Structure 1
Amino acid sequence: MEKDFTETVRYFDAQKKVKEIRGFYEHLTVYALCNPIVIVVNYMTSPEYLWWIWSVMGWGIAIVLHGLKVFSLPPFFNKKWEEKKIREILEKENQQRLENSHGNRFK
């Protein structure tokens, strides 16, 4: 029974990871298809100011961050950080419960 449960959990984790990877590639595809349009619109409407650079750079940063997250390469906010934060929150909640339960006894 335990083995079936862990296999099911592993399957759903893998399925979630595949959806995240697919989402990244969809994001990357939209980026690659839209930016040439943005560039053309810039040159047609206001060629004296190349504002398309800001759009490409800003969106490019978002693509890089998305890729780092999906492929588990982020320098911050990784699984270790998440687990640490979860422990901190649970400890804080436990501390508050203890304080509330002790406070209620003495009132």
Structure 2
Amino acid sequence: METNYTQGERYYQAQKKVAEIRKFYQHLTVYLLCNPIVIVVNLMTSPGYLWFIWSLMGWGMAIVLHGLKAFEFSPFYNKEWEERKIREILEKEDNKPTWK
């Protein structure tokens, strides 16, 4: 399904895309700045148990998912999936009986 966008719509879509990528980079920056602090706190307070690994892994997975979404590399929920789902919902609505 090919959609023809006007110049203004294309510009708006590009702005949204840039904002999404910027938010990903901000998220990554916070991750890179905060985790060394978490590691230092862990090593100073309880060096026998390295709990910072859980923080790194959990937050790291969130970073990866955010990056996949920001750069439109989603193997599961991509544009084709969205289009299929929209068509499926519209077909269900069209086939729904009216009770008037």
TM-score (norm 1): 0.85
- Report deviation, 1:25: 0.2
Partner AA of 2:8 in structure 1:
T
Instruction: Tell me, yes or no, if structure 1 residue 56 matches structure 2 residue 60.
Output: no
Structure 1 gaps of 5+ residues are: none
Structure 2 gaps of 5+ residues are: none
Alignment of 1:10-89 (within 5 A): 10-89=10-89
Q: Larger helix proportion, structure 1 or 2?
A: 1
TM-score (norm 2): 0.90
SS in 1 for 2:6: helix
> Sequence identity, in percent?
69
Runs of 4+ in 1 over 6 A off after TM superposition: none
- Report deviation, 1:89: 1.2
C-alpha RMSD over aligned residues? 1.5
Q: Deviations over 1:53-103 (max 9, x none)?
A: 01001111111111111111111111111111111111112222xx12xx5
> Number of residues paired by the alignment?
97
Partner AA of 1:55 in structure 2:
S
